[in-house]
Amino acid sequence: MSYSEIIRKQNDFFNSNQTKDIGFRIEQLRKLKALLKSSESVLYEAIYADFKKSEFDTYSTELNIIYQDIEESIKKLPKWSRRKKVRTNLVNLPGRSYIISEPLGVCLVIGAWNYPYQLTLSPLVAAIASGNTVVLKPSEVSPATSAVLARLINASFPPELMVVVEGGILETTALLDQKFDKIFFTGSSRVGKIVYRAAAKNLTPVTLELSGKSPAIVTSNSNLKEVAKRIVWAKFLNSGQTCIAPDYVLVAESVREELLLLLKSQIIKNNYSFENGNYVQIINESNFNRLRCLIDANRIYHGGETDLQNRYIAPTLLTGVSFDDQVMESEIFGPILPVISYSDLNDAIGKIKSGSKPLACYIFANDKTIRNKLLNEISFGGGAVNDALMHFTNSNLPFGGVGSSGIGNYHGEAGFKTFSHFKSILNKPFWLEPNLKYPPYSNRKLAWIKRLIGK
């Protein structure tokens, strides 16, 4: 089927109003969960083939999140989609005012490879829960997971409701030429701009989940041992190929040495390896080569070993790094952690603010005043105080970037809102019609208007 035919069919199906029914949406979500549950073994095989991601990591960072999204949507859909009454202003009394949510229509979801299930299926769940139809385009960079998603979903759901289209730049460009009612994109800021341009042609609304350099700020007054444990886990999970991984550490000069020792011993303790199931391959050779070039041998504090054949890069700590170094130019997106010290917190804030707005920021500080100063002065998508990454798992926290790290957000109710339009309605009875607004105008009418609504 050509892309235009798929979209025509989805449009027709959407216009049949079947997706407006909450029961229908819940049924599809249940079906999707059952499909994933019964296919877990092939999902694990595919992701292992792509980059040796273990069952433990796949379940805990991908499937489990999707299952939770589905369950939450099923449970809360009636509430989320309920007509919401709002107050009516004086001049419209005795009318009533309310907001009705409605699905947007035919949605395009473009995913990234680094969490190939979660980053495609979580938006899919939100789009279906909101009553849309979906064309899903996983990343070609993780070909096995893309293929398994296509095989499973296309065999189980009608293409007029949801369909997986596989492909790379060529296919995505052709898809972007079509007219959608919503485009939800996860990927780099570079490609995000391409998607935004394509969407603008049809004034299609977009959600762009993009990238950035997310700092972890470690102040002098924090529980360094716990800090090191949390930063190391967040950074080296998925071998650093996580959009919200701490990209680099900014640490108070007075505790730099202590933190470095703790980071190193935590890395050693975690014993990262493919065999232990807690480390993954770098996704492909070009990313491997890109990352290898970022490891300046003179700056290695720990790690630095690489193995092209296995696409392995050891968890690496760099010191003596300055903001002018190549590793600080753009998002690292791999297991390399520069640790940079600061002596003046305001300088550190200035450095962060001189770059693009980060997708995440992690603030490690026991001092509430300092925490609040950092939260107040730095703009970033979202983040955590005294932790890293875990904000992602709370579906009550809308997830998304700001500035070049993204537009819009999702997760939980935010996902429902992202794929919905909110129609504002004023509903008036006929039994009362004050004539103030109608001609002929008079000074007496104006006096009444001033008295009733004038400020």
Of how many residues is the chain composed?
A: 455
In whole angstroms, how close is the CB of 331 to ligand NAD at the nearest point?
A: 5
Q: Of the candidates 233, 202, 215, which has an alpha carbon nearest to the alpha carbon of residue 60?
A: 233
Measured from the CB atom, the residue of 210 and 260 that comes closer to ligand NAD is 210
Q: Residue 190 phi/psi, 5° resolution?
A: -60, -50
Catalytic residue among 62, 72, 160, 209: 209
In whole angstroms, how close is the CB of 296 to ligand NAD at the nearest point?
A: 22
In whole angstroms, how close is the CB of 414 to ligand NAD at the nearest point?
A: 13
**Part in contact with ligand NAD (CB under 6 A); list of ranges 164-172, 269-277, 294-302, 347-355:** 164-172
Token pair 């029961």 is found at 23
Q: Of the candidates 49, 57, 46, which has an alpha carbon nearest to the alpha carbon of residue 270?
A: 57
Peptide bond preceding 440 in cis form (omega within 30 of 0): yes
Structure token digits, residue 123 = 């938006």
**Part in contact with ligand NAD (CB under 6 A); list of ranges 184-192, 228-236, 291-299, 418-426:** 184-192
Torsion 251-252-257-262 (CA) sign: negative
What span, in angstroms and rounded, lies between the C-alpha atoms of 315 and 321? 16
With binding defined as CB under 6 A, does residue 240 bind ligand NAD?
A: no
With binding defined as CB under 6 A, does residue 119 bind ligand NAD?
A: yes
What span, in angstroms and rounded, lies between the C-alpha atoms of 241 and 114? 6
With binding defined as CB under 6 A, does residue 407 bind ligand NAD?
A: no
Between vectors from CA 317 to CA 315 and to CA 318, what angle results, nearest 5°? 140
**Part in contact with ligand NAD (CB under 6 A); list of ranges 107-115, 257-265, 290-298, 426-434:** 107-115
With binding defined as CB under 6 A, does residue 409 bind ligand NAD?
A: no
**243 an active-site residue?**
yes
Please, which residues bridge with residue 85 across strands? 98
**DSSP letter string over 168-203?**
SHHHHHHHHTS--SEEEEES-HHHHHHHHHHHHHTT
Q: Which of residues 317-376 bind ligand NAD (CB under 6 A)?
A: 331, 333, 359
Among the listed residues 100, 150, 174, 194, the single contact to ligand NAD using CB under 6 A: 194
Q: How many residues bind ligand NAD (CB under 6 A)?
A: 28
Element at 159 (helix H, strand E) = none
Among the listed residues 60, 64, 173, 322, the single contact to ligand NAD using CB under 6 A: 173
Measured from the CB atom, the residue of 79 and 197 that comes closer to ligand NAD is 197
**209 an active-site residue?**
yes
What span, in angstroms and rounded, lies between the C-alpha atoms of 267 and 297? 19
**Part in contact with ligand NAD (CB under 6 A); list of ranges 31-39, 108-116, 289-297, 420-428:** 108-116
Among the listed residues 209, 222, 230, 266, the single contact to ligand NAD using CB under 6 A: 209
With binding defined as CB under 6 A, does residue 188 bind ligand NAD?
A: yes
Catalytic residue among 62, 72, 107, 243: 243
Residue type, 372: N
- In contact, 259 and 337? CB cutoff 8 Å: no
Contact residues: ligand NAD, CB under 6 A: 110-114, 119, 137, 139-141, 168-169, 172-173, 186-188, 191, 194, 209-211, 243, 331, 333, 359, 401, 406
User: What are the catalytic residues?
Assistant: 209, 243
